[in-house]
Amino acid sequence: MSYLRMEDLDLAGKRVLIREDLNVPVHAGKVTSDARIRAALPTIALALEKGAAVMILSHLGRPVEGEYDPQYSLQPVADCMGEWLGQEVRLQKNWLGGVELRPGEVVLCENVRFNPGEGKNDETLARSMAALCDVFVMDAFGTAHRAQASTVGVTRFAPKACAGPLLSRELDALAKGLDRPVRPMLAIVGGSKVSTKLSVLNTLMDKVDELIVGGGIANTFIAAAGYGVGKSLYEPDLIHDAQLLIQKAHERGGSIPIPRDVVVARTFSNEAQAVVRNVDEVAGDEMILDIGPLTAMHYSKIIAGAGTIIWNGPVGVFEFHNFAAGTRAVAEAIDRSHAYSIAGGGDTLAAIDQFGVSDGIGYISTGGGAFLEFVEGKVLPAVAALEAAAR
Ligand code: 3PG
Ligand code: MG
């Protein structure tokens, strides 16, 4: 990959516009997990050290374009970032017309997705963003799979465009794990729906030796194996695709294991009574909310035998303590494993934090969807735009 890198540029006295992915969970006006903010800090600190005036762009959530909605304001992010940086991070509500700032100062521009045209990569919008700066720095790995005005369009029109250190570090680390992986290679993919991850599951099955599915995805595979799933979240329309994937795994000499036992409950809540059942004994009014202890042991063994592990998504509703044991077992097995492990995705990062296993993971990516698309071998549009700008 050849693109300019921020580390190599002279930024003294320059107006530098940095696109970060500061899409973090916010509750009651406070950031509840600041991992993505912390990951962006070295980039911002380096730009300041190089003498730049720093403007930051990010989205938060998926607001309706063209409407300001305080629920999606970046103010909590500005507050949190200011504390970490030890200097004021000023949130600017209207910034498209221009931002006044001096070298050494940091301004966070309000949610890019409030601007009409952001999602469709509108040219006029991208040009206005580009006009703000001397140098545009794309550093939002987590949003690099979106072809939007602030991730792709602006790169085309900025006087100079480069990759930030976080983005390039992510790309390098993931390439290292995927180029010549140590076998056997295992992917663990959780999440609610097969439909949103069907293409990634398909491509992954061409690359990996073993695939463990979790969450709602696993329920569809359990149904595909012929078992009842009661009231569980699953997708009847995708059963056939799940069967094809199981067949594909077998043809390649691998497998997609089906849980032997599961933890069920009658209601989706933290207080719900948890019952362990064999996979063929789930009642019509029950929901599968975690893997059972036998399955957790089985998966831990598969993990222990792997040479490379890709992890995206929990295997149960780990936010509820009664249904956290499966994801904890998976996290701890990856922690103990000597395999090169790479993990990504919001829920996965939250699970890694919750179970305190970050030291045992080879590389933790800030990306969710972007991480999976990279693993699939897709070209990330924002990276393609940087390469085009460098040519
Ligand atoms: C993410 O959280 O995965 C990224 O910030 C991208 O967000 P999006 O899926 O709303 O584009
Ligand atoms: Mg480990």
Q: Is 156 a catalytic site residue? A: no
Q: What are phi and psi of 294, to 5 degrees?
A: -65, -45
What is the share, in percent, of the chain residues with pLDDT greater than 90?
90
Q: What are phi and psi of 310, to 5 degrees?
A: -115, 125
The DSSP secondary-structure symbol of 25 reads -
- H/E element, 287: strand 287-291
CA of 342 relative to ligand 2 center, distance in Å = 9
CA of 358 relative to ligand 2 center, distance in Å = 9
Find the Cα–Cα–Cα–Cα dihedral 158, 160, 161, 163, rounded to 10°: -150
Token pair of 164 as six digits: 């930030």
Q: Which of 146, 347, 365 to mutate for ligand 1's pocket (most ligand atoms within 8 Å of CB)?
A: 146
Q: Are strands 135-138 and 15-19 parallel, antiparallel or unpaired?
A: parallel
Contacts of 153 (CB under 8 A, 6+ apart): 121, 122, 123, 125, 126, 127, 129, 130
Q: Is the pLDDT of residue 377 over 90?
A: no
Which of 2, 112, 6, 104 is CA-nearest to residue 56? 112
Ligand 1 pocket residue status of 348, Cβ below 6 Å: no
Q: Is 369 a catalytic site residue? A: yes
Q: Is the pLDDT of residue 276 over 90?
A: yes
Q: Is the pLDDT of residue 1 over 80?
A: no
The single residue of 190, 292, 346, 367 carrying the catalytic annotation is 346
pTM to 2 decimal places = 0.87
pLDDT tens-digit map of 39-86: 999 999 999 999 999 999 999 999 999 999 999 999 999 999 999 999
Q: Whose CA is nearest to atom 9 of ligand 1?
A: 369
Do residues 190 and 368 lie in contact, with contact meaning Cβ atoms separated by under 8 Å?
no
Annotate 168-178 with b (16+ C-beta within 10 A) or e (fewer): bbbbebbeebb
pLDDT of amino acid 350: 87
Do residues 336 and 301 lie in contact, with contact meaning Cβ atoms separated by under 8 Å?
no
The DSSP secondary-structure symbol of 278 reads E
Q: What are phi and psi of 309, to 5 degrees?
A: -130, 130
The single residue of 14, 15, 19, 36 carrying the catalytic annotation is 36
Residue for token pair 């599915």: 213
Do residues 39 and 79 lie in contact, with contact meaning Cβ atoms separated by under 8 Å?
no
Rounded average pLDDT over 181-197: 89
pLDDT of amino acid 164: 98
Contacts of 318 (CB under 8 A, 6+ apart): 290, 324, 326, 327, 328, 347, 351, 354
Ligand 1 pocket residue status of 146, Cβ below 6 Å: yes
Q: Is the pLDDT of residue 222 over 90?
A: yes
Ligand 1 pocket residue status of 181, Cβ below 6 Å: no
Token pair of 311 as six digits: 């992890």
At position 356, the amino acid (one-letter code) is G
Ligand 1 pocket residue status of 373, Cβ below 6 Å: no
CA of 354 relative to ligand 2 center, distance in Å = 16
